[in-house]
Structure formats: structure tokens, C-alpha cells
Chains A and B, each alone.
Chain A
Amino acid sequence: KAGVTQTPRYLIKTRGQQVTLSCSPISGHRSVSWYQQTPGQGLQFLFEYFSETQRNKGNFPGRFSGRQFSNSRSEMNVSTLELGDSALYLCASSFGGGPYEQYFGPGTRLTVT
């Protein structure tokens, strides 16, 4: 069974631009969660989508948003990029509906200049 895939793997953007990252979960998984990893703050939860609905949200500004499609694929968008948004963005998938084991993709490394 294929694992979680994320595209693109690397991205360089300029401050003020916006960016969209994509995540395809493991087949049969209906929950997708997004996490941000930075050297200063570590791994932090952004939001979770289940059956196309945002079910849980972390403590991030409204510039961070996401959505989930009917095939469970998910995208996250960051508008008006700031230098501090430079990070590794990881997505995780699980069956959903409870505290099931989560499986992570390889991540997208975003650099904002």
C-alpha cells in the first residue's frame, strides 16, 4: 500500500506571496492532519480534516487554511507569507473517527525569502 505523499517537496517563495501544498493520504484513510516543524517551536499541529470538514484546529493565524476533497486528498494554503513561515510542513493520515495511529508523509520544505 502506498504511503502518504506530499507535493512539492521543496519550495522557495517571496515574502507576501501565497503558497499551496498538497497531501494525498494512504488509501482508505479519511483523516488528514497538517503539522509545522521549525527549529524554535518544534512540531505544532495546524489543523485536521475528516470527510471534507475541518474537525480540529491549532493555534495558528487565519493566513493558514486548508481543505479536503471527496477523495480525501488535502491542500493547505498560506497567504501573505512571512519569513517566519519558513518550515517543514508535514501531513499525516489516519483512518479517522478516533485516536488512530497517524502516518506521516515526507514533508514539504518551504523557504520564504
Chain B
Amino acid sequence: GIQVEQSPPDLILQEGANSTLRCNFSDSVNNLQWFHQNPWGQLINLFYIPSGTKQNGRLSATTVATERYSLLYISSSQTTDSGVYFCAVVTNQAGTALIFGKGTTLSVSS
């Protein structure tokens, strides 16, 4: 099956710093989503981005489907950005199932 790899696994930042999270996938995808898991466990939708570039405030994402990777950019990080960031994909083979990476744990300190 498809492999979804996220890097780095852990990231520690000072407030105000910028960061880039990467998601590599081993097969073509129909859907790619980025999520932020809050301390209570809920997955918050950040981007639905099977291809192209999107921006939402301090966050932006780019997916290059032909090269099988996606990037999530966080600018001017805040302590509230702390948590786990997941990339998840849907492939033809998996139907509509989201296949998740292992996540990047981000810690932002003031």
C-alpha cells in the first residue's frame, strides 16, 4: 500500500519563528489533507490540497502531485500552534480511506 512519510518527526521553535513541514507519499493521490490535532484529540482541518498552493492566514500549503510531496508552512509561529500536524492522503486503491502519516509534533515556546 501507499507510504506516507512526514518530516521532521519533532520540531521545537521559539515564538515568531517560521517552519516547514514535509509530507512525502509513494503513489498518486486523489486527495491530500493537512490536519492539526489539538490537545483534546480533535483533528482540525487546515487544508484540502490534492495539488497546487493555498494560504490561510499564517499557514500555507503546497502540493506537487507529480513529485509526490506536500509542504505545510507556518510563519510567525505562536504557542497555540503547538500540537501534532498530520498529513493524510486518499488513493484510488484505498477508496475513500484517509491514509495518515505518523505526524510532526511541533512545540512552540514563548
Contact = CB atoms under 8 A, between A and B. Distances in A.
* A and B held together in a complex: yes
Interface of A: 31, 33, 35, 37, 42-45, 48, 55-56, 58, 88, 90, 92, 94, 96, 98-107, 109
A99 B96 contact: yes
Contacts of A109: 41
29 contacts: A31-B96, A33-B96, A33-B97, A42-B100, A43-B100, A45-B97, A45-B98, A48-B96, A48-B97, A55-B95, A56-B97, A88-B41, A90-B41, A92-B43, A92-B98, A94-B96, A99-B50, A99-B90, A101-B31, A101-B33, A102-B98, A103-B45, A104-B42, A104-B43, A104-B45, A106-B40, A107-B40, A107-B41, A109-B41
Given A45-B94, A102-B33, 16 more contacts: A33-B96, A35-B98, A37-B41, A42-B103, A43-B88, A44-B100, A48-B97, A58-B97, A90-B41, A96-B96, A98-B30, A100-B31, A101-B31, A101-B45, A106-B40, A106-B41
Interface residues of B, number: 24
Nearest to B89: A99
A80 B22 CA distance: 40
What are the 9 A-B residue pairs with the smallest beta carbon separation, nearest first?
A99-B31, A99-B30, A45-B97, A56-B95, A43-B100, A101-B48, A104-B43, A99-B90, A106-B42
A102 B96 CA distance: 9
B27 to A, nearest CB: 14
Interface string B28-48: 001101010000111111001
Contacts of B108: none
Nearest to B97: A45
Interface centre among B40, B41, B50, B86 (most CB of A within 10 A): B41
Contacts of B98: 33, 35, 43, 45, 92, 102
B67 to A, nearest CB: 20
Contacts of B50: 99
